[in-house]
Homo-oligomer: A and B are copies of this chain.
Amino acid sequence: MASFLNRRRFTIEWSHCDPAGIVFNSRFFEFFDWATWSLFEAVLGVRPPELAGAFGIEGLPLVDASARFIAPARFGDQVELTSQIAEFRRSSFNVEHQLFVRGRLAVEGRETRVWAVRDPADPSALKSQPIPRDVVERFEVK
């Protein structure tokens, strides 16, 4: 069973690039965040600002992020960013991102996020919660 793959296409802007003329590394992590919200919206049909309310969570906080930079992306490049859940665990999951420049893989990324609610014992903190079975199933592509 495959996991839903979301695609997002956009253009590399001047503001994304550094003095070497290529996208500055932290921008890719910003793109990954954009893409994870898009993936959840595409699958769950809920606009990002309503996601937390719709599922009774506080959010999907990131606990781990990584990227491998294979080839540069440059000002004006049309890129495609594909994203899918690589693994659901009890209360956390991995999102894998691949950014393509002219069809060639340029950056691979991974985020680990948690299905989190406000901690009843300490309202300033979050705690993980089991991901509802129904949510997990909706990411499955038959």
| Chain A interface residues (CB < 8 Å from chain B) | 13-15, 17-21, 24-30, 33-34, 37, 47-50, 59, 61-69, 74-76
Whether B64 contacts A48 by the Cβ 8 Å rule is no
Whether B65 contacts A25 by the Cβ 8 Å rule is yes
Whether A30 contacts B19 by the Cβ 8 Å rule is no
Pick the residue among B18, B20, B26, B66 that contacts A66 (CB under 8 A): B66
Asked whether A62 and B69 contact (CB < 8 A) given A33-B26, A34-B15, A47-B76, the answer is: yes
* Copies of this protein, total: 4
* Chain B nearest CB, measured from A37 CB (Å): 6
Separation of A68 and B15 alpha carbons in the complex (Å):
19
* Most B-side CB within 10 Å, residue of A26, A67, A69: A26
Whether A64 contacts B74 by the Cβ 8 Å rule is no
Whether A48 contacts B30 by the Cβ 8 Å rule is no
Whether B68 contacts A64 by the Cβ 8 Å rule is yes
- In the complex, residue of chain B having the shortest beta-carbon distance to the beta carbon of A33: B15
Separation of A76 and B54 alpha carbons in the complex (Å):
15
Separation of A47 and B15 alpha carbons in the complex (Å):
15
Separation of A64 and B19 alpha carbons in the complex (Å):
19
A-B CB contact pairs (8 Å), 24 listed: A13-B30, A13-B33, A13-B34, A14-B24, A14-B34, A15-B33, A17-B18, A18-B18, A18-B19, A19-B21, A19-B75, A20-B61, A25-B29, A25-B65, A26-B27, A48-B75, A48-B76, A49-B75, A50-B76, A62-B69, A63-B69, A64-B67, A64-B68, A64-B69
